[in-house]
Chains A and B, each alone.
Chain A
Amino acid sequence: MTDVKTTTEPLLSIRDLRTYFHMGSVTARSVDGVSFDVGAGETVGIVGESGCGKSVTALSILRLIQPPGRIEPGSVIAFEGKDLVTLGDEEIRNVRGNRISMIFQEPMSALNPVFTVGDQVAEVARIHAGVSRKEAWNRAVEALSLTGIPAPGDRAKQYPHQLSGGMRQRVLIAMALMMKPALVIADEPTTALDVTIQAQILDLLVGLQKQFGTSILMITHDLGVIAETTSRVIVMYAGEIVEQAAVDELFAKPHHPYTEGLMFAMPHIGRDQERLNVIPGTVPAPTAWPVGCRFRERCPYSWDLCEREHPPLYQIGAGHISRCHLAIEPERRNHPHPPLVVQEGAAA
């Protein structure tokens, strides 16, 4: 899992993706110039907090952005020789659920309450493989059994409300894997689940990925899930990629101050710490990203360059990039200062 696969032609190649929401006089630049690749059979993680643009990136890949949102002209999402941005409606429907499928966070709202789960899984095969009702049902039961649902034949006849959260998530995984897609986008697939059920589902996803060689784009806020499932990690902040590296490298040598801050803000079992490190302030609004470095005001190392110049993605090491000027003045890391933003909670 830890080796980064290098294929000559990536399965998915995103270049300068910009997804903006035009709301009257203001524009929210939710995804603002994102570029990355996912190789065949690779598991790539995108980590970041609410509002960083990770979910909008996922929805953009499947063209599920609704007005007033729009993928801006010039954005490229190359997948299996096609540009998904310019694909016709009919063609994109053939990609969705067939070549690329998605697992959502909330399994209850992703399932239709008035159909049995078997019908809903079978529908995928009927639409994309054009098979008969009976054949589709058989395939659905087979897919359900693959996800470890006990007595799949009986479970298939039940309705979503009759299943537990973990079972519903297995149903969604069965739907997502039905057509043996090349890429599965998992958007916080275990966030709504209890920790022992989360362990079951992550175990299942990793196992199925090994079995079928599916690529996975794992979107999560949880660095633990990232560390346990992915081989390469993308850190997003304020609509941009701020760091990208192989998983071992990222955790051993985080470069961007935001990545570093996230890692120290998390309590770790077995680590004795009197106080948690805090990233002061909050994420800026997507309608008004700060000029220069977008993390500048919350950063303990920022200097005048950070205000003047929006940092590019610097090459830090092999396959490791970081959007931080510390790359050119690394000695500044030894001299942290209080961040510019007023620290809420510092009073009292």
Chain B
Amino acid sequence: MIDTSAPLLSVRNLKKSFPIKKGVFGRQVGAVQAVNDVSFDVAPGETLGIVGESGGGKTTAGRAILRLIEPTSGSIKFEGRDVCALDTRGLRAIRREMQIIFQDPVSSLNPRMTIGAIIREGLIIHKLAQGAAADARVKQLLEEVGLRKEYATRYPHEFSGGQRQRIGVARALSVEPKLIICDEPVSALDVSVQAQVINLLQDLQRERNLTYMFIAHDLSVVEHIANRVAVMYLGKIVELATSEDLYREPLMPYTQALLSAVPVADPAARKERIILQGDVPSPANPPSGCVFHPRCHHPAKDEACSRIVPPLEEKAPGHLAACIKQPPTIVSWEQQQQAGGVRPPERYLPIAAVH
């Protein structure tokens, strides 16, 4: 059940930059804008998908929200509480309610600890249970994620990738969080095992009314699990819409290219695709104006795109996109002309991008 009356998580103008240092004295010579002015809300019970390619900033955004890395600026509100203003004790308390599941189920579990001890740790730290009560809770959690309770005495190396990811889920659930940030939780898994873990996450969400932020590069997995999807490119959200709208009518040319690039498992449906030229530019030196303009295929692209930073604006009800060439836009044609624009905005939706 999605409750839209008040957001569970509210992120405003989040920025995270990493300094680039050079020489023996570590002089700062530049900065990588990993997350550059990102704002969004997540409603209770909702799954917000975050997609994009490497270097897009999706993992950094996820970790900055938990303050696993300190944000450079911006505000993060969880149930109205300002996460950025919390001291160590407050942060520990709030992390009980916000958990994370990592991509790599091998390196995220301590090889020297038994599965039971790994899951128990959270219960002890947050004083939720101890002794026999904690043991019973561990067994219950293992069964809830579809593992046998006898597994509590075993070590991580005794499990397959899919089972380890279930252990990661059990650990996150142990403290009864409201929000779980899933950072590429299934991308290291085989297709058949991936489906098992996705179904598990969906079942748990339904039973416990969990809220997910689901970070992934696999667009078909995100479409399956998310209610709304944010597309990130070079540290910015370039499009944000319901899953249905985004996949049916992608408006930002980057989203269009991303969708058209997904290989379709149906030889009868082979289609033309938008092949982007070149690589993702370095986030240390992002292009001016619209960060996507050097690779953009929008027919109305012109000089204005390299001068004007496109606002993330509403193009249709609940559908935000950052493109001054997709109407409607608050950047008027006059303003675009003053910035060297020669082609007026026109709606563009290539067949190759539509699924």
CB-CB under 8 A from A194, the residues of chain B are: 53-54, 217, 280
CB-CB under 8 A from B278, the residues of chain A are: 150
CA distance A202 to B265 in the complex (A): 14
Contact of A224 (CB < 8 Å), options: B143, B258, B265: B265
Q: Mark A237-249, 1 if CB is under 8 A from B, else 0.
A: 0000000000110
Q: B265–A268 contact, CB under 8 A?
A: yes
Name 22 interchain pairs, CB-CB below 8 A, sorted by A.
Answer: A49-B193, A150-B278, A194-B280, A195-B53, A195-B262, A199-B261, A203-B275, A228-B267, A251-B267, A251-B268, A262-B192, A265-B191, A266-B220, A268-B220, A269-B262, A270-B247, A270-B355, A345-B145, A345-B197, A346-B146, A347-B144, A348-B203
In the complex, whether A200 has a CB less than 8 A from a CB of chain B is yes
CA distance A248 to B266 in the complex (A): 8
Interface contacts beyond A50-B190, A198-B263: sample of 5 additional A-B pairs, CB < 8 Å, sorted by A = A200-B276, A221-B190, A221-B191, A263-B265, A348-B145
Q: Mark B164-205, 1 if CB is under 8 A from A, else 0.
A: 001000000000000000000000001111111111101110
Contact of B196 (CB < 8 Å), options: A167, A226, A344: A344
Contact of A227 (CB < 8 Å), options: B163, B193, B270, B273: B270
Q: B224–A273 contact, CB under 8 A?
A: yes
Q: Mark B125-148, 1 if CB is under 8 A from A, else 0.
A: 000000000000000000111110
Whose C-beta in chain A lies nearest to the C-beta of B271?
A228
Q: Mark A286-304, 1 if CB is under 8 A from B, else 0.
A: 0000000000000000000
In the complex, whether A112 has a CB less than 8 A from a CB of chain B is no
CA distance A180 to B174 in the complex (A): 57
Whose C-beta in chain A lies nearest to the C-beta of B269?
A227
In the complex, whether B156 has a CB less than 8 A from a CB of chain A is no
Q: Known A49-B192, A195-B53, A224-B262; judge A269-B223 contact (CB<8 A).
A: yes
CB-CB under 8 A from B166, the residues of chain A are: 344-345
Interface size on B, residues (CB 8 A): 54
Chain B CB within 10 A, most for which of A165, A263, A267, A279: A267
Contact of B264 (CB < 8 Å), options: A49, A224, A344: A224
B residues at A contact (CB < 8 Å) = 53-54, 143-147, 160-163, 166, 190-200, 202-204, 207, 217, 219-221, 223-224, 247, 257-268, 270, 273, 275-276, 278-280, 355
CA distance A164 to B281 in the complex (A): 10
Report B290 CB to chain A, min CB distance, Å: 17
Q: A267–B263 contact, CB under 8 A?
A: no
CA distance A197 to B278 in the complex (A): 8
Whose C-beta in chain B lies nearest to the C-beta of A283?
B190
In the complex, whether A196 has a CB less than 8 A from a CB of chain B is yes
Q: A269–B199 contact, CB under 8 A?
A: no
Q: B202–A261 contact, CB under 8 A?
A: no
CA distance A95 to B203 in the complex (A): 53
Report B170 CB to chain A, min CB distance, Å: 11
Can you list the 10 inter-chain pairs with the closest CB atoms, starting with the nearest? A224-B263, A345-B146, A194-B53, A279-B192, A267-B224, A199-B261, A49-B190, A276-B195, A223-B265, A270-B355
Q: A347–B217 contact, CB under 8 A?
A: no
CB-CB under 8 A from B144, the residues of chain A are: 347-348
In the complex, whether A222 has a CB less than 8 A from a CB of chain B is yes
CA distance A181 to B169 in the complex (A): 47
Q: A252–B268 contact, CB under 8 A?
A: yes
In the complex, whether A53 has a CB less than 8 A from a CB of chain B is no
Contact of B192 (CB < 8 Å), options: A196, A270, A278: A278
Q: A265–B279 contact, CB under 8 A?
A: no
CB-CB under 8 A from A195, the residues of chain B are: 53, 217, 219, 258, 261-262
In the complex, whether A7 has a CB less than 8 A from a CB of chain B is no
Report A70 CB to chain B, min CB distance, Å: 26
CB-CB under 8 A from B265, the residues of chain A are: 223-224, 226-227, 251, 263, 266, 268
Q: Which of A114-168 contact B (CB under 8 A)?
A: 150, 164-167
Q: A228–B263 contact, CB under 8 A?
A: yes
Whose C-beta in chain B lies nearest to the C-beta of A265?
B195
CA distance A195 to B204 in the complex (A): 29
CA distance A95 to B145 in the complex (A): 50
In the complex, whether A282 has a CB less than 8 A from a CB of chain B is yes
Whose C-beta in chain B lies nearest to the C-beta of A263?
B265
Q: B220–A269 contact, CB under 8 A?
A: yes
CB-CB under 8 A from A344, the residues of chain B are: 146-147, 162-163, 166, 196
Report B98 CB to chain A, min CB distance, Å: 22
Q: Mark A163-178, 1 if CB is under 8 A from B, else 0.
A: 0111100000000000
In the complex, whether A335 has a CB less than 8 A from a CB of chain B is no
In the complex, whether A84 has a CB less than 8 A from a CB of chain B is no
CB-CB under 8 A from B276, the residues of chain A are: 196, 199-200
CB-CB under 8 A from B196, the residues of chain A are: 278, 280, 344-345
Report B6 CB to chain A, min CB distance, Å: 28
Q: B355–A225 contact, CB under 8 A?
A: no
Report A57 CB to chain B, min CB distance, Å: 17
Q: Known A49-B190, A267-B221; judge A348-B264 contact (CB<8 A).
A: no
CB-CB under 8 A from A308, the residues of chain B are: none
Whose C-beta in chain B lies nearest to the C-beta of A250?
B267
Q: A266–B199 contact, CB under 8 A?
A: no
